[in-house]
């Protein structure tokens, strides 16, 4: 029991360090690994060797993919591609269903673009729609945030679920397909919550910041890219990765010849996302004064922090595996039959306590990886569903210690109590609906 108690203490200290003292998760994850190594009886040499090998192994499988994903996101953000997606959703679904249009827009945009950035990019559009349709800005904001947040925790190549996929050795194509299948209804739950709020906030006017009004005016003069060019960097890589997963089925649906080999090559996540990067290059045509070098550098700067935290999470997970804690947790909890609910609870506690969904996902994946077999989740489907269960926990709940909470509140003119009653409750409902849906899939197919 000593090592289990130590793990709980270490996680609690990590949460306190991050939330109260703003200690960077990269350092806290590495320090947690060192402490757990000593508690688990590893020698000094074993600890340093395990840390470096775990860090390198994780980045070897995921680092390039994260870099490519953030480059695509930078191009969509800087070219106005995110606005193109929003306009497409409004034109397709209709302005009378603007709340649904913003929800779906958020869902699509957040697959390659971080949810915080996505909300800021689309905030001027939200304000313009609110003004023309008289729909309260709070309602549109909650619906948009629900779509953004859902894809952020469920659908690779968003960094969190991508890192969890690597940590749990899950099939990326299967995670994407199941992630989309689970994420879309979870996103719609946020939409229905926003529609419920529309009746309550019907007569409430929300204020806007002057700086946001300026950005709205400026955005009207930006030439945005074509819809087809905007969607290609997202859709093509996802389709290629999905085709590879289908090709890898034991039945070999594409045969074992040249077509199968080509599919497996271009469907490899690294190659698929590299193709996405080159497709994203077409978006820069609308911004003549910018250079590819600057935009790629911008994406890589954002990727750097994510990659380092992901690597530190992998190092922490390797230490936990080396201490044999997986067998201990498995023997203690296997009789409780918690299954997919255990990773959900761990991720939810970490998310609620320290605020970052990505850190919550990475840390939980490191804790859960050694015990998958004990809970009967070591199959291909089990691993993919575990990634999604962690994602559901990592959105439960967004509140005062979450940067996304403040982005939604500040860019929508909400005071703190209003944001807690609307945005925080939305993430609570979505998270629990998500884990219920995931557990139902698990009960049927595992």
Name which residue leads in pLDDT, 11 or 347.
347
- The 10s digit of each residue's pLDDT in 390-429 is 999 999 988 877 888 888 988 888 888 888 899 999 999 9
> Nearest CA to 359 among 383, 325, 323, 390?
390
Name which residue leads in pLDDT, 296 or 112.
296
Residue 85 has pLDDT above 70, yes or no: yes
Percent of the chain with pLDDT over 70: 91
Q: What is the distance between the terminal CA atoms of the chain, rounded to a whole angstrom?
A: 30
C-beta separation of 144 from 122 below 8 A: yes
Per-residue tokens: 149: 């947040």
pLDDT of 47: 94
Averaged pLDDT, 92-112: 87
Residues 155 and 141: their CA atoms lie apart, in Å, by 21
223: three-class secondary structure by DSSP: coil
- The 10s digit of each residue's pLDDT in 192-205 is 999 999 988 764 54
Cis bond before residue 157 (omega within 30° of 0): yes
pLDDT of 287: 67
C-beta separation of 93 from 100 below 8 A: yes
- Residue 226 is classified by DSSP as P
110: three-class secondary structure by DSSP: coil
Residue 313 has pLDDT above 50, yes or no: yes
Residues 95 and 184: their CA atoms lie apart, in Å, by 21
Per-residue tokens: 256: 């074992």
- Residue 421 is classified by DSSP as I
C-beta separation of 352 from 399 below 8 A: yes
Cα 228 from chain centroid (whole Å):
24
pLDDT of 355: 76
C-beta separation of 107 from 184 below 8 A: yes
Residues 400 and 177: their CA atoms lie apart, in Å, by 32
- The 10s digit of each residue's pLDDT in 20-73 is 787 888 898 899 889 989 988 899 999 999 999 989 987 886 788 878 888 888
Give this prediction's pTM: 0.74
Phi, then psi, of 126 in degrees rounded to 5: -55, -45
Residues 6+ away with beta carbon under 8 Å from 17: 23, 28
User: Would you tell me how many other CB atoms lie within 10 Å of the CB of residue 126?
Assistant: 28
Residues 191 and 144: their CA atoms lie apart, in Å, by 8
Per-residue tokens: 85: 């997606």
pLDDT of 332: 67
Confidence of residue 334 (pLDDT cuts 50, 70, 90): low
355: three-class secondary structure by DSSP: coil
Angle at 176 between CA 316 and CA 251, to 5 degrees: 110
- The 10s digit of each residue's pLDDT in 141-157 is 999 999 999 999 999 88
C-beta separation of 5 from 284 below 8 A: no
Residues 184 and 197: their CA atoms lie apart, in Å, by 20
């Amino acid at each position: 029991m000593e090592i289990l108690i130590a793990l709980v203490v270490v996680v609690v200290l990590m949460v306190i360090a991050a939330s109260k003292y703003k200690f960077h998760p990269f350092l806290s994850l590495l320090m947690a690994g060192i402490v757990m190594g000593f508690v688990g009886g590893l020698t000094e040499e074993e600890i340093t060797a395990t840390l470096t090998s775990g860090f390198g192994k994780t980045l070897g499988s995921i680092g390039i993919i994260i870099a490519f994903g953030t480059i695509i996101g930078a191009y969509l953000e800087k070219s106005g591609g995110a606005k193109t997606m929003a306009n497409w959703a409004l034109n397709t679904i209709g302005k009378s269903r603007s709340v649904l249009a913003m929800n779906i827009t958020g869902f699509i945009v957040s697959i390659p673009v971080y949810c915080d950035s996505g909300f800021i990019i689309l905030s001027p559009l939200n304000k313009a729609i609110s003004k023309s349709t008289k729909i309260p800005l709070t309602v549109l904001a909650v619906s948009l945030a629900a779509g953004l947040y859902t894809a952020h925790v469920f659908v690779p190549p968003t960094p969190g679920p991508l890192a969890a996929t690597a940590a749990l050795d899950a099939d990326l194509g299967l995670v994407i397909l199941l992630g989309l299948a689970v994420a879309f209804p979870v996103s719609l739950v946020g939409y229905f919550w926003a529609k419920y709020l529309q009746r309550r906030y019907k007569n409430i006017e929300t204020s806007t910041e002057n700086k946001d009004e300026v950005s709205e005016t400026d955005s009207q003069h930006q030439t945005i890219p074509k819809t087809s060019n905007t969607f290609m960097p997202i859709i093509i890589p996802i389709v290629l990765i999905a085709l590879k997963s289908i090709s890898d089925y034991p039945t070999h649906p594409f045969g074992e010849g040249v077509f199968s080999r080509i599919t497996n090559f271009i469907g490899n996540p690294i190659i698929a996302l590299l193709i996405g990067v080159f497709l994203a290059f077409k978006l820069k045509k609308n911004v003549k004064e910018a250079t590819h070098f600057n935009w790629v550098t911008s994406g890589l700067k954002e990727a750097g922090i994510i990659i380092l935290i992901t690597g530190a999470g992998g190092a922490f997970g390797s230490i936990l595996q080396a201490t044999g804690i997986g067998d201990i947790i498995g023997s203690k909890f296997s009789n409780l039959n918690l299954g997919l609910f255990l990773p959900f609870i761990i991720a939810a506690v970490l998310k609620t306590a320290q605020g970052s969904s990505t850190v919550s996902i990475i840390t939980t994946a490191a804790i859960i990886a050694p015990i998958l077999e004990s809970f009967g989740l070591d199959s291909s489907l089990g691993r993919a569903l575990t990634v999604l269960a962690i994602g559901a926990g990592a959105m439960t709940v967004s509140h005062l210690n979450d940067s996304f909470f403040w982005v939604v509140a500040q860019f929508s003119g909400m005071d703190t109590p209003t944001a807690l009653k609307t945005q925080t409750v939305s993430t609570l409902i979505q998270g629990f609906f998500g884990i219920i849906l995931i557990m139902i899939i698990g009960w049927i197919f595992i």
